[in-house]
Amino acid sequence: MSIKQYEIWIADLNPQLGTEAGKTRPVLIIQTNFLNQIPHPSTIICPITTNVKNDSEILRVHLKKGDANLHQNCDVMIDQIRTIDNKRFIKKVGDLPKNLIDKIKENLMIIMDLE
């Protein structure tokens, strides 16, 4: 299985604990391709939800229906970054458009205080 940064995949995030995103859902790969190209057993992701919050511009990045082959409007949950085992991935959905990649990078830098 070949995984690349800024691809969207369906992954099984169960079991869920506390406020973690659970269920089988789309996730955005944010891990660098440096790690994706070596035999690394886990991947850093941000879960994606259909529970769109229009008032959360930093904690979420809005995706429109059709972006990366998604079937409905969604939000990338920037504040729910986690690492998952590669066995959780089910199938690739699509690739994030360049303009949204820039927004993801910007929001990640804000919430992690990176410059």
Question: How does pLDDT run along the chain (115 residues), one tens digit per residue?
Answer: 799 999 999 999 987 776 767 789 999 999 999 999 998 899 999 999 999 988 888 899 999 999 999 999 999 999 999 999 999 999 999 999 999 999 999 999 999 988 7
pTM for this structure?
A: 0.92
Number of Cβ within a 10 Å radius of residue 95:
17
Structure tokens at 42: 């886990």
Q: Which DSSP symbol is given to 14?
A: P
Phi-psi region of 18 (alpha: psi -120 to 50; beta: other; left: phi over 0): left
CA gap 99, 52 in Å, rounded:
19
